[in-house]
Structure 1
Amino acid sequence: MAMSIVRSPSHCMNFHVFEILSLADGIVVFKANLKIELNELFEKSGAVGITLADNKIRCIGDCESIGECLSVFYNVDSKECVMHNKQFDLSSFPVPSGSGAVWRYYFTEDVTGTCSPENNYYRPLQFCYSVHEITSMNFTDTNAFCAARGGKLAAVTSQEMQDYFTDFLADRPHIRICIASKEQPDGSWELEDGTTMSYFNWYPGQPESATQPFIVIKATSLGDIIHESDPIDFTQIKAFCSSRGGELAAVSSDKMNSYFKEFLDVRPHIRVCIAGEEQQDGSWALEDGTTMSYFNWYPGQPESGNQGCIVIKDTSLGDMWMDASCAYSKSCSFVCKY
């Protein structure tokens, strides 16, 4: 199975039972709707901002001030305002993971006329879209489906768009996302309107051949590229990622750890260098000072001493963590996160 995303133009639908309007000179500039079926649910993971707001009106105002914000969870008691760059749903994804009687959920609606209310609107990219599922990949049918809704299959044309796809589709139910483009006889790739593509995020070894002329984003690529360090030198690894506008990827949850195992299953080295350094008090922290709380140590690890960095190693117990010298003669694969 795979997913497709319709990029849409368009205009009005009352999906709400309560709306909050933000006015400027008497003109509605921002609208948020209460989604009553998500009352008493919330999600903090992946939030683009968390503030304290005296009331829901101020919470929506905070959302308006952050271009990435598409929806908010508001706690009536604690006044927490949790902002997200995606919308939540019980019938599809993502579904909120937390619950509490005093939480309310509001989703924003475009009032500029750029999008119709049934579509999501991501303001930084002026991107109107809706997400759909298909049981069998057929790009002809997918393109026709999008066209019937007044849109077209979404294309990924920049790193910013790639990052947004990676983020808002992180909890998707399928590992593949169908995106726009088709390979041409000369080996170039074009969109449906004939525009030649210049941005790509190919997995190593891709594209394979002209017998596969369409593009999918697949979960095993993580939206990032695998690199190699031989010999291992964490200072140089971090400098490399930084020079590309990223940082050495950290593994901060069971979900991320499982994903790394799948994603890096066919890596060229038995070691994977990941972010995290031992501190003088024996704790472990990321480069920005965040104290690490998730670990997947191999039994007997960490050994400490002069081994203040972390590698994931292929062991008899599977991929598990070991502490390692931050510079030594072995080689590793590593991932830059953007």
Structure 2
Amino acid sequence: MADYERAENECIYNGGHLAYVDSAFSNSYILESVKNLTSSDFWIGAKRYKEPMNAAVSNIWIWTDQNRIISFSDWGLNEPSEGRDCGVMSTTDGSWYSSSCSSKRPYVCSFPTTKSYCDEGWTQFTKSDSCYKVFYYSNWTRAEETCVEQNAHLTSIHSPEEDEFIVGLSHCGVTFTGAGDSGFLQDTWIGLYTKTSRPGEYSWSDGTTVNYVNWRPSQPNAQGWQCILLNSDPNQESSTTSGWDDWECSHVLRNFVCKKPTTKVLILH
């Protein structure tokens, strides 16, 4: 039990602030979290803002964490009340009301943590903190364009673990049963390429540093081919086929893998 100021200071001391509520979901989540609380209410981070030089500005409510103006609210009937400047949530229905800041009651703190996630249809690889998705049948240029349309790029690869992950991912979705177009239809475009003006100098289309390669024997073979594929025949074990070759950018391969950073969300709890 604490008055509002002490409750906020206790939250700050522990790395947080009095609870911040940005949606009906957050409101319900906090209410569920305190279902065993015996008190009828508790402090949250809502506080009336008072402009020292303008007494007329007195009905703006902010959150204590960053002095943000409250956008979502769940005030009860005829709330907030004048002369009561600190926010309380009811343990009965989650509605808010204003109270004297000097009264003592339980309080709930919000602590920021970061969670990474991928959009629906994308697969996360934790080590690279990135999201990946397989698309099918394209030359290199159109594949990169497709990835850019997805706010991504053709995949870069920076470790043996990521390489193995890409090989496994590229096996998903389509199984090819024949040698087909020069035997290359079963392969996968990745984002490595070299410019005509600088043959042999390779770059990733996402601009990241080339700090890992996995060329197959005798590759690259310096025949003027500018784009790099990953051997990923889904009919064979990856250990017998994985590795990189240079190839003609205009060639249509079985699939390609796009890569983009995970989305970071701030979880307040």
Provide the TM-score with structure 1 as the length reference. Answer: 0.36
